[in-house]
Amino acid sequence: MINIAILGFGVVGSGVAEVLKQNADSITQKLSGEKINIKYILDKRTFPDHELGDRVTTDFEKIVSDPEIVMIVETMGGSHPAYDFSKQAICAGKNVVTSNKEVVANYGTELLELAKSHSVNYLFEASVGGGIPIIRPMWECLAANKIQSVTGILNGTTNFILTKMIEEGMDFDEALSLAQCLGYAEANPAADVEGMDTCRKICILASLAFGTAIDPKNVHCEGITKISSEDVAAAETLGYSIKLLGKAEKRAEGTYIITAPHLVGYDNPMSGVRDVYNAITVCGNAVGDVMFYGRGAGKLPTASAVVSDIIDIARVCKEPMTWTFSDEDTCMDHKNAPVRFFVRTNDPNAKDYFAGCVFCDCEDGTYAFITDEDTEFKLSEKLNNISVLSAIRVL
């Protein structure tokens, strides 16, 4: 049994509990049978109706002095007391996992150093890009490379606002109101729309990529509040999308780092990143450009990153990467799976057999349509009735 404590039972903290419960069986398997137990939850509020309600405490001292606690999960947000508690926990020999970009950006250097000297881990995958794996891949999977640059759409709220401005012609205020209605933006949206959130995250990525701490206070930071719908339209005419980017680049003169809106050309896959999605492009001198893409925020995506860090620490006696042989045939017959087919045909009967589908005329006199969903087996039988030029599955 691995005992942990969660500090802060808000969106992310309760998401961590949810993921640990929902995937308990597969997680226990990954830990060779060891179970993770949430022994304490630190929060000022009480949660009488929650099944973990009896673990809630306001007493941090009790947590940090409990020798059974090997790991502390800091999901409080804000610098204080999150930083102070993290420091105390590390000094008490506890591993710390965090989703708190403010603490990592402002105090990461000190806490990482402290963790090293106490032989514990300070892990922060969830602090950048929500559930997108980026911190560890950059550290481990791209270790062969000298990282030359990191560029990211790192804030879902502002990307949502810009998407609405681009696709629906909204102006900034209108798009911000919508984001607030949908719960994507807070009542006070300054940290998002003025770029500070993006700035903290690009500082974390740049510090890790280049090995030297970069303080957000030293980084030029512009938000998106001055972007007008006229800008968006004119950029579109020129073949660009406007995106709020964090950008860090190793140059002969030093590290070039900036947070600001940028025009991104349509040939760059980052230009197509919509809504609350995030994307981070890392350029290494061997690998070239690699991009990581996914939901950059949200309860379960962020919890996914936190829990993966928890598992990593719990895998003290690291299970090797593996899969097992199974005697049973675990694959189903692909003909029994539901699919849709794109069909190209010159058979006039097709419109009868596939009535209800939308038919589109092709230049060469043939026509094409997409079937409704059915098993491949049944669709193949139905397609046998007509003369088919092409049948291709639809994702």
Q: Give catalytic residue positions.
A: 201
| Whole-angstrom distance, CA of residue 146 vs CA of residue 284 | 6
| Whole-angstrom distance, CA of residue 291 vs CA of residue 313 | 26
Stretch that binds a second copy, among 52-60, 83-91, 179-187, 364-372 (CB under 8 A): 364-372
Question: What's the Rg (C-alpha) of the chain?
Answer: 25
Cβ contact 244:198 at 8 Å: yes
Asked if residue 139 binds a second copy (CB under 8 A), the reply is yes
CB atoms within 10 A of CB 161: 29
Residue of 187, 317, 332, 355 that binds a second copy (CB under 8 A)? 332
CA count, 13 A, side-chain hemisphere, 142: 28
| Whole-angstrom distance, CA of residue 42 vs CA of residue 12 | 13
Residue of 1, 181, 187, 286 that binds a second copy (CB under 8 A)? 286
Quote the least distance from Cβ 44 to a second copy, whole Å: 27
Binding-site residue total for a second copy (CB under 8 A)? Answer: 128
Asked if residue 61 binds a second copy (CB under 8 A), the reply is no
| Whole-angstrom distance, CA of residue 201 vs CA of residue 174 | 26
Asked if residue 357 binds a second copy (CB under 8 A), the reply is no
Quote the least distance from Cβ 238 to a second copy, whole Å: 6
Amino acid at position 360, single letter? C
Residue of 34, 312, 347, 374 that binds a second copy (CB under 8 A)? 312
Cβ contact 275:99 at 8 Å: no
Asked if residue 116 binds a second copy (CB under 8 A), the reply is yes
Stretch that binds a second copy, among 41-49, 57-65, 177-185, 331-339 (CB under 8 A): 331-339
Categorise residue 311: left if φ over 0, alpha if ψ from -120 to 50, beta otherwise: alpha
Asked if residue 81 binds a second copy (CB under 8 A), the reply is no
Closest by CA position to 227, among listed 175, 180, 178, 280: 175
Stretch that binds a second copy, among 6-14, 50-58, 68-76, 357-365 (CB under 8 A): 357-365
Asked if residue 95 binds a second copy (CB under 8 A), the reply is no
| Whole-angstrom distance, CA of residue 58 vs CA of residue 75 | 15
Asked if residue 355 binds a second copy (CB under 8 A), the reply is no
Quote the least distance from Cβ 61 to a second copy, whole Å: 27
Asked if residue 377 binds a second copy (CB under 8 A), the reply is no
Closest by CA position to 387, among listed 341, 351, 345: 345
Amino acid at position 204, single letter? I
Asked if residue 316 binds a second copy (CB under 8 A), the reply is no
- Name the residue nearer to a second copy (CB basis): 76 or 90: 90
Q: Within positions 204 to 263, which residues make up the interface with a second copy, using CB under 8 A?
A: 207-208, 210-214, 218-220, 226-228, 230-231, 233-235, 237-238, 240, 242-243, 245, 247, 249, 251, 253-258, 260-263
- Name the residue nearer to a second copy (CB basis): 60 or 243: 243
Asked if residue 140 binds a second copy (CB under 8 A), the reply is yes
| Whole-angstrom distance, CA of residue 369 vs CA of residue 372 | 10
Asked if residue 273 binds a second copy (CB under 8 A), the reply is yes
Both structure tokens of 131: 């559930």
Cβ contact 101:201 at 8 Å: yes
Residue of 44, 49, 144, 187 that binds a second copy (CB under 8 A)? 144
Strand partners, 390: 344
Quote the least distance from Cβ 58 to a second copy, whole Å: 28
Asked if residue 118 binds a second copy (CB under 8 A), the reply is no
Quote the least distance from Cβ 53 to a second copy, whole Å: 23
